[in-house]
Structure 1
């Protein structure tokens, strides 16, 4: 009897054990949820197992993944405005189940109609009361609330060509690239086919400390499509990140596409937004959320619209958000965009943003081909209040060791936070294959010639082509030919040279320079540590300072007024440049400079020339040191210039020069110190200002050509840091202070004027004020032994002056964004109008690419 009992007990135990094994089997379900009509992905859809607390929500692509141990055999999808759907699942297996939800349009239409009919007001509005609670609790729901935080971050940046026409795909010149055009994605954006052409993935460990505040990002892996043979990959990446900046909804202003958008949970949010409570939602774990919709009060302002989900657990935190912009705002090139934010609960019950997805469709005309861009930032393994050793935070803010960042495909398969789509997974190999095709190489070389002005010839580049021909009053017709080496010759060594000839002055000019990178990197690759030596004989207009363009550019041959006073410069330079990861740099150098009057410029003492023809040269030998700090600087390294990408952080440049008499014939001892501060100031809905503060002082007794010849502009191009109605050589100082403010209102006013709104014009205004002067020992009007100020050789009237008690002031108003590229200013000069040859008004133009 006992034996039978034991057998029955054993069988029962085996059955129970088997049941427990079965019940512990893991079920994994993944899939995508789309709209049944247009097949567009649906984000933030609730996906859960009925009768349990097991659930999740779809991401920005409508994808979900749910893994659990349970005996349930169905899965449910619920989303406001759509019918709830249940589907059967197979327990203990991994399966893919996709959903197409049917819209309940009647309910949604009723909500929209009610909003339009009701008079909106903040008073006694429960939605506004809720948003004020969110605003009051902002600080405790931010990562900066914690003393320490650390996490693993995955970032994916993608660009694709959208809606390429069949003519392009099947064209005569593109048929050979069919393997590229076959790799298109039709699932990401409604009604668009996307052809990925650029992809970058990055993994990093991020460490944050609150006090003193420090954030360290240690990049552990980086993988990207490489176009290094044709463009600056590092600079391109920096520009993409400038467009797709990190977004924090808890900031008052959010930077999107280089423009500031007021956050819907900003302190001033209730003043600029309308809020509506759309629904109360219960999550699978029993948590209640308020679905809050928000819309701009003025459809033309840089504001967002969309919905967010607010927790009711006392934190009043944002758990999810879906935002876009009204179609009426003045935004260039961006036809449509969506920003999706997801937040995750921390162990202490608060929320942190664990995923952000920005998707944008760029193009000129609606419905035509364009560019699709996407940036995904995902955060995992968040740990709070776990400090690192004190010395750890003394390290650089960004650590990228190139030789350690290249990882095999197996590493990415196991460590990336996202699964790449089929089209994304092929882009690396496809672009690599494309770059090995001779026809593509030829095409890119032609494009490089047209855009950058250089043509590759083996390990050298010939150019820039826009400087091959120019003309001016001194040289007349001028031809120039030159080139430079590329990393194909030597990665760390660079040489540049050119020769030019003026057919009027019948003189040769030229340049020869060489740079060696001491850190054995490319001389273009930040941070630079290099030595440069050069020799140059060239013409120059005193006081003309240009940015990002050659002085002998053909377009600069066209100038207003009289500009016949030039210099022949013979310059020998040696300098050492050292940049640091924190964007501090110093540049120490030596320069021997011989400047000889050219054209109608002559040097006189009293009324007599120094020599019979007034061409006596001035020789100087200078030691210099420049300290520059540009925190968080971003830039694009072009073929000739490094072009900064403006952000909210200031740039400080301190220069010191010491002239030493007696070195190779130099004739003067002096010291020159100057400070320049540049700042981009963002004013939210009122646009942004570019502000330049500058001052300088020169010690020593010097002839006026060695003093500060203030930057003048006699071209028809508007220049930010030059005085656009000042003539060349008009003002000279040995001490000065200036402020330039250039403000772009971003269409804040014009957006409210129907015609200007339709044309997407933007209003701009600027003011420039310069104070300066000369000490008596440097003023030729008070010391006849000095070289006298320049005069007009025909009328004998002075053309060079010193600033008195009054400052030089000019201002301008203008219209920007003409054809989305052109800015035209009407410039007004307010002081020193009695100086000969000056203009009270002028019209200046400038090309600029803005979003």
Structure 2
């Protein structure tokens, strides 16, 4: 019996991931036994119709098990699919005679890259909607039976349906939505996102100001036309990179219409599963060979820690000017459970972009701040208001997520654990208008103070958004001395970040530890309070500091510091003398003014209450120039001198060869001063590797008044060990290090060193640098790093370690 137009079989529905409940775009849906098929849209929806007699429909998607369902002929019906991941290994590619037809398509993609890549545009801007959800998943039965979990069992059980009929239970912890205006311009390369509205609901999220700056589209942007993509701080090779054939196997599997564009479908997977590369599918337009759609996955075989899977899906459209811009992005990061008795985590990101304007750049000052949140961004969170802002409505599941998080926030045990996590992450206990801590310096043990106990506080944004007060009080039970610090800071401007602060302090320090240079190394500064203090000293200090961001990337700082120096070791020095007659002393006072300029062209900052947090630079170096002037006579200050310091820090990407971190620095003292005011180079006599030190140099072994140094680390990722069959399963990674410093001490400053100090310090010989080279392994049991260091110079010095094996612990993906 033939079917008329009025007896068509029409099937529509949605295809989702059975584990996460997320839609599966670009899946193939076909009537079994026919050639009638379609691919799902970005939301996983499809609709098929036929007049041919059919009784079933089938769905296939790369990385998922094929699934078929029976249908009823001659009716309109809804059939939804939940696909399970296919964990079987990919079959080997069979290469037949002749060239792989996918290669010609890839060559044409590369040839047309300059026309299709959005980087060709002078500028572009668009409206963007972003949605983020974070869930706890893979909750083991053992974890569910623990006492602390039983109190939320009722909530957990009601969530089990959220992943779909074949899915696993998930526990939502955070969901956010934001609506922004995003701007980009080239030459100079600048970007700016204005977050107009945001809605946040999360366990432990109270204010949400900092989180709001992370939920815009700026952190969810991926351009596959780049050869290398930075994802979770790692460099991944793009499947359409100009050198992609070195890393991928390709297969031209189909050609079809995707919307209004006829496209070639290419499937690909890494030649080595441990490489930082993707498995997936790409759709390339026949006209212009542009990237239309891409669906890629990074599996747990890749050399990544704690990551079960990363999935990125993207759909692009051609805009005025010829380039293709993403109109929809979806990213899923599946974090694996640390132990069999713990749980994992799912982080899901979705962005939708529309209303594009291209090649109309604004003035450079328009992009002064990369991320700005409107003052009223979080004032309107009611559902009716957000229904008018969303590019598409929330699903029923997402509506339930909001309700579930509201319920979880009111469970006492959840509040308790949230507070504990905040203390661990922030180092302070949030008591409302004040933070109590930091707990990293709560106690220490050393040979001068014995057991040291310390606590402190600082005010929060709830106390004042302009003024910050804080202080710490400590006591050493051996030296029976109190130590303290107190400070006040005024935030003069948040637009061009401008602060003024005053601090007074009485404490104990070590010669050679410069808390100005090591200001960001909180762990090291806390750790240096432990152990044996070689060349320790008590001090009183008063400091004034003013800094301002003059323009984007360039900041200026001026500071004044007064300090006293009271040594705990046998220390004397000769006072500088113009007439050649030297008096000796063991204590001194010093006053100095410091002027510093810092340039970091593409550095990204976010504001967390009264703190400004740097997220580093992506391309350009950080250059710092500091001039210091010692002023004799102020409050008894003993010295007058001039000193200048320069540093250059850069993260260097080497593509398949890994990534390097380079720090070049130097200093020059023009005048005379005792050696604690010069540059005692920071050694390391512990078995723990520290990147800020020279690891085979003894404490205080060298002091200079002029020097230039280099510290370099290179992480090869899995470049070599991934190719060794017995090693690649361990996911170990090779690294290399190089530290060198060349300098010396002027005769004038050497004359200030007394005889009892000459045996305790040494000088670098002009033209002979101190050098140490190292190699090592990291990612041993995911956390352990072992460095093998060789010292190459000054080997005749006393008590020298020519070779050292140093261990450290690090958290790295």
Q: Does 1:846 align with 2:808?
A: yes
Q: Which residue of 1 aligns with 2:238?
A: 263
Q: Deviations over 1:9-39 (max 9, x none)?
A: xxxxxxxxxxxxxxxxxxx997412589999
SS of the equivalent of 2:420 reads: helix
1:569 CA displacement? 1.9
Given the alignment, which residue of 543, 550, 555 partners 2:512? 543
SS of the equivalent of 2:110 reads: helix
1:571 CA displacement? 0.9
Q: Which residue of 2 aligns with 1:125?
A: 100
Q: Give the 3 Å change call, closer, same or farther, for CA 102–466 of structure 1 in structure 2.
A: closer
Given the alignment, which residue of 662, 673, 676 partners 1:691? 662
Contact (CA 8 Å) 1:357, 1:374: kept in 2 or not? yes
Matches of 2:523 and 2:614, distance apart in 1? 14
Q: Deviations over 1:543-597 (max 9, x none)?
A: 13544326674686246xxx53112221101112334784543322211122222
Could you tell which deviates more after superposition, 621-630 or 288-297?
Answer: 621-630
Matches of 1:706 and 1:678, distance apart in 2? 24
Matches of 1:228 and 1:582, distance apart in 2? 33
Given the alignment, which residue of 769, 781, 792 partners 1:819? 781
SS of the equivalent of 1:250 reads: coil
Q: Which residue of 2 aligns with 1:33?
A: 15
Q: Which residue of 2 aligns with 1:164?
A: 139
1:535 CA displacement? 0.8
Q: Does 1:471 align with 2:471?
A: no
Given the alignment, which residue of 533, 544, 548 partners 2:502? 533
Q: Which residue of 2 aligns with 1:379?
A: 353
Q: Deviations over 1:257-281 (max 9, x none)?
A: 2111111111111222221111222
Contact (CA 8 Å) 2:194, 2:373: kept in 1 or not? yes
Q: How does 1:719-738 map to 2 (within 5 A)?
A: 719-738=690-709
Matches of 1:304 and 1:507, distance apart in 2? 60
Contact (CA 8 Å) 1:673, 1:698: kept in 2 or not? yes
- TM, length-normalised to structure 2: 0.84
Contact (CA 8 Å) 1:660, 1:669: kept in 2 or not? yes
1:370 CA displacement? 0.2
Given the alignment, which residue of 656, 665, 669 partners 2:627? 656
Q: Deviations over 1:34-62 (max 9, x none)?
A: 5899998542146899xxxx998534552
Q: Which residue of 1 aligns with 2:712?
A: 741
1:251 CA displacement? 0.3
Q: Which residue of 1 aligns with 2:5?
A: none
1:767 CA displacement? 0.3
Q: Which residue of 1 aligns with 2:4?
A: none
SS of the equivalent of 1:144 reads: helix
SS of the equivalent of 2:119 reads: helix
Q: Which residue of 2 aligns with 1:18?
A: none
Q: Give the 3 Å change call, closer, same or farther, for CA 716–273 of structure 1 in structure 2.
A: same
Matches of 1:178 and 1:581, distance apart in 2? 53
Matches of 2:214 and 2:19, distance apart in 1? 39
Q: Which residue of 1 aligns with 2:393?
A: 419
Could you tell which deviates more after superposition, 208-217 or 304-313?
Answer: 208-217
Gaps of 5+ in 1: 1-27, 67-73
Matches of 2:103 and 2:412, distance apart in 1? 62
Q: Give the 3 Å change call, closer, same or farther, for CA 167–528 of structure 1 in structure 2.
A: farther
Q: Does 1:587 align with 2:557?
A: yes
Could you tell which deviates more after superposition, 437-446 or 666-675?
Answer: 437-446
Contact (CA 8 Å) 2:455, 2:474: kept in 1 or not? yes
Matches of 2:730 and 2:207, distance apart in 1? 33
Q: Deviations over 1:651-674 (max 9, x none)?
A: 222222222222111122222222
Q: Does 1:329 align with 2:329?
A: no
Matches of 2:709 and 2:165, distance apart in 1? 50
Q: Does 1:155 align with 2:130?
A: yes
SS of the equivalent of 2:332 reads: strand
Q: Deviations over 1:462-517 (max 9, x none)?
A: 43344333222333333333333334444433322222233443333221122232
CA RMSD of aligned residues (A): 4.3
1:616 CA displacement? 2.2
Matches of 2:525 and 2:186, distance apart in 1? 51
1:421 CA displacement? 3.1
Matches of 1:646 and 1:558, distance apart in 2? 35
Contact (CA 8 Å) 1:273, 1:295: kept in 2 or not? yes
1:150 CA displacement? 2.7
Contact (CA 8 Å) 2:588, 2:638: kept in 1 or not? no
Q: Give the 3 Å change call, closer, same or farther, for CA 652–179 of structure 1 in structure 2.
A: farther
1:359 CA displacement? 0.9
Q: Give the 3 Å change call, closer, same or farther, for CA 180–423 of structure 1 in structure 2.
A: farther
1:252 CA displacement? 0.5
Q: How does 1:786-825 map to 2 (within 5 A)?
A: 786-788=752-754, 791=757, 797-825=759-787
Q: Which residue of 2 aligns with 1:11?
A: none
Q: Which residue of 2 aligns with 1:62?
A: 44
1:308 CA displacement? 0.9
How many residues are aligned here?
Answer: 781
Q: Which residue of 1 aligns with 2:641?
A: 670
Contact (CA 8 Å) 1:273, 1:296: kept in 2 or not? yes
Gaps of 5+ in 2: 1-9, 49-53
Q: How does 1:217-616 map to 2 (within 5 A)?
A: 217-225=193-201, 234=210, 238=214, 245-283=220-258, 285=260, 287-313=261-287, 315-346=288-319, 351-364=324-337, 369-385=343-359, 387=360, 393=366, 396-404=369-377, 406-408=379-381, 409-428=383-402, 430-431=404-405, 434-435=408-409, 438-450=412-424, 452-456=426-430, 459-519=433-493, 528-545=497-514, 546=518, 547-549=520-522, 553=526, 557-558=530-531, 563-579=533-549, 582-603=552-573, 615-616=586-587
Matches of 2:298 and 2:705, distance apart in 1? 51
Q: Does 1:760 align with 2:731?
A: yes
Matches of 2:161 and 2:304, distance apart in 1? 26
Matches of 1:811 and 1:424, distance apart in 2? 54
Matches of 1:56 and 1:390, distance apart in 2? 46
Matches of 2:492 and 2:619, distance apart in 1? 32
Contact (CA 8 Å) 1:45, 1:77: kept in 2 or not? no
Q: Which has the larger radius of gyration?
A: 1
Contact (CA 8 Å) 1:55, 1:284: kept in 2 or not? no
Matches of 2:717 and 2:273, distance apart in 1? 14
Matches of 1:277 and 1:353, distance apart in 2? 23
Matches of 1:631 and 1:40, distance apart in 2? 34
Q: Give the 3 Å change call, closer, same or farther, for CA 138–655 of structure 1 in structure 2.
A: same
Matches of 1:500 and 1:220, distance apart in 2? 45
Contact (CA 8 Å) 2:210, 2:606: kept in 1 or not? no
Matches of 2:782 and 2:676, distance apart in 1? 41
SS of the equivalent of 1:751 reads: helix
Matches of 1:495 and 1:38, distance apart in 2? 46
Q: Deviations over 1:121-147 (max 9, x none)?
A: 9x6222111111111111211223334
Q: Which residue of 2 aligns with 1:173?
A: 148
